Amino acid sequence: MLDLIVKRFNNPDKTITFNNGKFEVVEIKDIVIGKATYEPKWKWSKDANPLAGTKFCEVEHLGMVMSGSATVAFHGEDDYTVLKPGDIFYVSPRPHDSWVIGNEKYISLHFIGADKYIQKEAKV
């Protein structure tokens, strides 16, 4: 048994790439942590859904925004919430869309849901 494990996202265990973004995964024991990096024009329902096979994201998330801004909008609702750097967020698995706001790259860490994020067609 190891008493200390150190990993970095510059050498992830798995990288899922899609239009205008990527999702990197690091696994430590039974814990899976993800890092989302989305370009300014990224939108889940346009760029990620072809790999996921669903119209909207249906994964539960608990995470923290590191840089940039993005939205969360639940399917069938007109309003949305903007996530900004420093925000810790929880998103239920109810179908939702998301898109980057502004011209800055969006980066967030995911502590729940990283193990289920776009499992089809994952590229290592």
- 71-109 pLDDT per residue, tens: 999 998 888 999 999 999 999 999 999 999 999 999 999
Lowest-confidence region among 22-26, 99-103, 114-118: 114-118
CATH code, domain carrying 93: 2.60.120.10
- Structural domain of residue 46, as residue ranges? 15-112
How crowded is residue 75: how many other Cβ atoms within 10 Å of its Cβ? 13
Q: Does the residue 64 lie in any domain? A: yes
2 alpha-carbon distance from chain centroid: 29
| Model pTM score | 0.90
- Between CA 29 and CA 52 the distance in angstroms is 25
Q: How many domains does the chain have?
A: 1
Q: Does the residue 10 lie in any domain? A: no
